[in-house]
Amino acid sequence: MKKTLVLVFHPSLNGQSHVNKALAEAAGELDNVTVRDEYALYPDGRIDVKAEQAAVEAADRVVFQFPLFWFSSPALLKEWEDEVLEHGWAYGADGHAFEGKEFAVAVSTGSPESKYQPEGDNRFTIEQVLVPFEGTANHINATWVKPFVTFASFGITDEALAKAVEDYKAFLAK
């Protein structure tokens, strides 16, 4: 079973988050998964690069879990990428940290899937919105895994959330 590192980027995981909190808690129940609440670890935004790199090195799969904010990620995730994915470690001639590792995102959206269609209000599919993450996986020589998406998180029913939790556990257990 692959050792999976789930890096959760939600600025209010224990406050406003309903979906991401449930998903993170479910992930933490799995023996092969380590969950890191990045906003709790770095409330001042100062990332311990070496600690993050060590966590990545100990994993076979890395998952960024976050709510979609304005077709992008929360600010700390971008800061994490800028700081942790160093030349010579994550990419470049001597950058091999992600080779042989899987890389995925687990994202939640406020809108339903119907909005993420060429004819929908957002005009783009969720796969198109997440292309920068797929590009990152390619650049760091990781194997891109199809994203795990929880649509319509605003107003999600208990039944739909329970199904998302079970589906996420299955996604992480692969």
In CATH, what number is assigned to the domain containing residue 43? 3.40.50.360
pTM of the model: 0.95
Under a CB-based contact definition with an 8 Å cutoff, are residues 47 and 80 in contact? yes
Structure confidence at residue 141 (pLDDT): 96
Residue pLDDT, tens place only, 111-143: 888 888 888 888 989 999 999 999 999 999 999
Show the tokens assigned to 59. 């994993």
Q: State residue 121's pLDDT score.
A: 86
DSSP code per residue over 77-129: HHHHHHHHS-BTTTBSTT--TTTT-EEEEEEE-SS-GGGSSTTSTT-S-HHHH
Q: What is residue 14's predicted lDDT score, i.e. its pLDDT?
A: 79
User: What is the per-residue pLDDT for 103?
Assistant: 98
- Measured in whole angstroms, how far is the alpha carbon of residue 81 from the centre of its chain? 12
Q: What is the pLDDT of residue 136?
A: 97
**pLDDT on residue 12:** 85
Domain range enclosing 77: 4-173
* Overall domain count for the chain: 1
Kindly give the parts of the chain with pLDDT less than 70.
none
In this structure, are strands 4-8 and 61-67 parallel, antiparallel, or unpaired? Answer: parallel
